[in-house]
Amino acid sequence: MTKSVELLPMLRCINLPASALAAAAVILWSTAAFAQQASGDQKPAEQAQNEQKEGKAENEQKAADKVRAEQEAAARAIAEFKEAAAKLSLSSGAPECVWTGRRIASLLWRDDIDTARRYIDLYDRFNCSSEHLKLVFRCVIEQGPLDPKAADRLASRVHSCWIAPEGETTASSQATVGTTTKPGTIPN
């Protein structure tokens, strides 16, 4: 079964089995095709290193931005507690009263009565003003509905009501009331 097969002009003088020549041709063809494909997809080592460095720089920037945002949030929270302490009596302006009271008002707004009740127990243990909490929740309710997905607006409203529970409604909450309520529906 050894017949010479003329696949390539260079191989005319070689007398090998046809299957061996066919296998060699397939291997040569696939190796050449793979080399061409791989050379187009490979990046130079320097370019790969540069991309790695850029990726590390982006990750470091994201981490720095996250730390900066956390620091700004902490500074804002401290400023809110100081503002409450300066404007309110000791029983409603103490940081522990402000912290728990604002959470209670937010939980009540979102209809999480069970969790609010647990916070109220904590609020009472700190000897915080229950009358102030009632006024704050009334203020939040009187300003009308909010978009349920806008947690930052609720937090802002609760804080402004905590500082001035008998104050006027804010312009943003008045605009929200007009756009989100429909006749015959219950506010959120």
d(CA 139, CA 187): 15
Give the single-character DSSP code of 110: T
- Both tokens assigned to 140: 């939040």
Question: In the block, which residue shows the tokens 């790695």?
Answer: 52
Exposed e or buried b per residue across 25-49, where buried means at least 16 C-beta atoms within 10 angstroms of its C-beta: eeeeeeeeeeeeeeeeeeeeeeeee
User: Taking the CB of residue 188, how many other CB atoms lie within 10 A of it?
Assistant: 13
Report the C-alpha gap between 12 and 6 in whole angstroms: 6
Residues 6+ apart with CB under 8 A from 60: none
Per-residue pLDDT of the chain (188 residues; tens, 9 = 90+): 555 555 555 555 555 566 666 766 667 666 665 555 555 545 567 777 777 777 777 888 888 899 999 999 889 889 988 988 899 888 889 999 999 999 999 999 999 999 999 999 999 999 999 999 999 999 999 999 988 788 889 999 999 999 999 865 444 444 444 444 444 444 44
Handedness of CA 139, 144, 145, 151 (dihedral sign): negative
Taking the chain, what is the end-to-end CA distance rounded to the nearest angstrom? 89
Tell me the CB-side half-sphere exposure of residue 58, using CA atoms within 13 A: 6
